[in-house]
A and B are shown apart, each in its own frame.
Chain A
Amino acid sequence: MAITGVRTPPQVHRFPQSKYIDAVRWLPPLSPLSKLAVLAIYDTDADSPSLETHSISLPASLTPHSQWTPPTRISSLSTSHQSLVAASTLSGSLHVLSSAMQVLLSVDENSGFHVGPISGVDLTGSECVSVGEDGRVNLVSVIGGGEFKRVYDGNGLVGFNCVKWASPTEFVTGGFGYGLQWWDLRRAGSGGPVLQFKGNFGSQGKASGMIHSVDIHPSRKHTCLAGGSSGTVFAWDLRWQQQSIVLSGVGTGEAVTHSLSESEVWEVQYDCHTKSSNISSSRVLPAMFCSEDGILAVVEQGEEPFELLAEPCAINSFDIDPQNPSDVICSLEWESIAIVSRP
Chain B
Amino acid sequence: MSGENQGGAIVPYSEEAKKPVVYPLRHGLKPPISRLGISWSRGNSLRVTVFRQPSEDSENEVGGKAVEVRLDGRDGEISDAQWRRIAYGSVSPFALLQSRKNSFASLSKISSTTSPFDAEWWEYVLEYSKDISSLLGNQTSTTQSLIEDPKEVLKDPEPSNLKAAWELMESFYADKLSQAWLPERLVDWLADYDSLFSSTQETVHSKLVDFQKDLVSLQVIEDEPKYWEVMSSALAVGWLDIVVKLLRLHGSYQLDQLGNRETENGLVEAVAVLISKMPRMRPELEAGKLGECFKAKPDFMKAWEKWRAQIAKLECSTFWIQCAHRQTQEGLRNMLQIMLGNTNNLCTLTCHWMELYIAHFLYIRPFTVGLESMYGLAQKCIQLKPMAASHRLMGLLIGILGENIEVVLAECSKGFGPWMVTHAIEVLTAGSHQADTLLHEERDNLGGISMEELHRLVYAQVLSSHPLTWQIAPIYLTSCIKQGMGLLEMLLYKQPVDHNQLLLKNLEICRLYELDSVSSNIMKIAGMYNWKHGKKGSGVYWLQQARDEARLNRIAQQMFDSVGRSISDENFRQWEGLIQLLGSEPKTAGGLEFLHNYRDFKKSLLQIRDGKTTDAARQAVESLISLMKNPCTPQRFWLPLLHDSLKLLNWEERPLLNVLQTNLLLNKLQELSIARLRPDFIEADLPPHALSSVRLALATNLGRTTLEEQ
Contact = CB atoms under 8 A, between A and B. Distances in A.
Contacts of A90: 499
Interface string B334-377: 00000000000000000000000000000000000000000000
B504 A292 contact: yes
B538 A133 contact: yes
A134 B581 contact: no
A109 interface: no
A154 B81 CA distance: 42
A157 B468 contact: no
Nearest to A200: B583
Interface stretch (A30-38, A201-209, A218-226): A201-209
- What 6 pairs between A and B have smallest CB-CB spacing? A158-B577, A18-B81, A334-B88, A176-B541, A177-B581, A158-B537
A319 B80 CA distance: 29
Given A116-B533, A264-B508, A335 B88 contact: yes
B500 interface: yes
A44 B88 contact: no
Contact of A210 (B81, B82, B500): B500
B92 A312 contact: yes
Given A133-B538, A134-B535, A154 B583 contact: no
B499 A335 contact: no
Contacts of B92: 312
Given A192-B574, A205-B516, A208-B544, A115 B534 contact: yes
Contacts of B81: 18-19, 45, 335
A173 to B, nearest CB: 10
A159 B535 contact: yes
B578 interface: yes
A133 B468 contact: no
A46 to B, nearest CB: 10
Interface in B506-545: 508, 511, 516, 530, 533-538, 541, 544-545
B84 interface: yes
A44 B469 CA distance: 11
Contacts of B537: 133, 135, 154, 156-159, 175-176
User: For the side of the interface on A, what is the size category?
Assistant: 35 or more
B325 interface: no
B176 interface: no
B500 A292 contact: no
Contacts of B577: 135, 154, 157-158, 179, 181, 192-193, 196
13 contacts: A19-B81, A45-B80, A133-B537, A157-B537, A157-B574, A157-B575, A176-B538, A177-B583, A179-B581, A192-B573, A198-B581, A208-B545, A313-B471
A293 B547 CA distance: 25
A156 B580 contact: no
A16 B88 CA distance: 11
B570 interface: yes
Given A157-B574, A198-B580, A263-B508, A20 B468 contact: yes
B554 interface: no
Nearest to A316: B501
Contacts of B580: 177, 179, 196, 198
A175 to B, nearest CB: 8
Interface string A253-276: 000000000111010000000000
A133 B467 contact: no
B505 A292 contact: yes
A77 to B, nearest CB: 14
A73 to B, nearest CB: 9
A145 B165 CA distance: 60
A154 B545 CA distance: 21
Given A177-B580, A198-B581, A207-B547, A153 B574 contact: yes
Contacts of B534: 115, 134, 155-156
B129 interface: no
A181 B580 CA distance: 11
Contacts of A156: 534-537
Contacts of B79: 18
A308 interface: no
Contact of A133 (B80, B508, B535, B583): B535
A155 B499 contact: no
A161 interface: yes
Contacts of B535: 116, 133-134, 156, 159
Nearest to B576: A192
The winner among A45, A116, A179, A210 for most chain B CB atoms within 10 A is A45
Given A134-B534, A335-B84, A314 B581 contact: no
B85 interface: yes
Interface in A131-164: 133-135, 153-159, 161
Given A159-B538, A181-B577, A335-B468, 8 more contacts: A18-B82, A90-B499, A135-B537, A153-B574, A158-B581, A176-B537, A176-B581, A200-B583
B588 interface: yes
B65 interface: no
Interface in A291-320: 292-293, 312-314, 316
A75 to B, nearest CB: 9
Nearest to B466: A44
Contact of B85 (A18, A133, A292): A18
B594 to A, nearest CB: 15
A102 to B, nearest CB: 29
B31 to A, nearest CB: 27
Nearest to B80: A45
A333 interface: yes
Interface in A226-252: 229
Interface string B457-487: 0000000001110010000000000000000
A312 B475 CA distance: 12
A312 B511 contact: no
Interface string B79-111: 111101100100110000000000000000000
Nearest to A266: B501
Contact of A207 (B70, B500, B544, B570): B544
Contacts of A335: 81, 84-85, 88, 468
A119 B505 CA distance: 16
A191 interface: yes
A49 interface: no
A131 to B, nearest CB: 12
Nearest to B538: A159
A210 B504 CA distance: 10
A117 interface: yes
B499 A117 contact: yes
B536 A157 contact: yes
A302 to B, nearest CB: 29
Interface in B48-104: 70, 79-82, 84-85, 88, 91-92
A335 B466 CA distance: 13
B574 A44 contact: no
Contacts of A312: 91-92
B468 A44 contact: yes
Nearest to A135: B537
Contacts of B84: 18, 334-335
A155 B533 CA distance: 11
A171 to B, nearest CB: 16
A316 B502 CA distance: 11
A134 B547 CA distance: 23
Contacts of B91: 312
Nearest to B471: A333
Contacts of B573: 190-192
Interface in B573-610: 573-578, 580-583, 588
B65 to A, nearest CB: 15
A194 to B, nearest CB: 12
Contacts of B505: 264, 292, 314
A71 B91 CA distance: 34
A178 to B, nearest CB: 10
Nearest to B68: A47
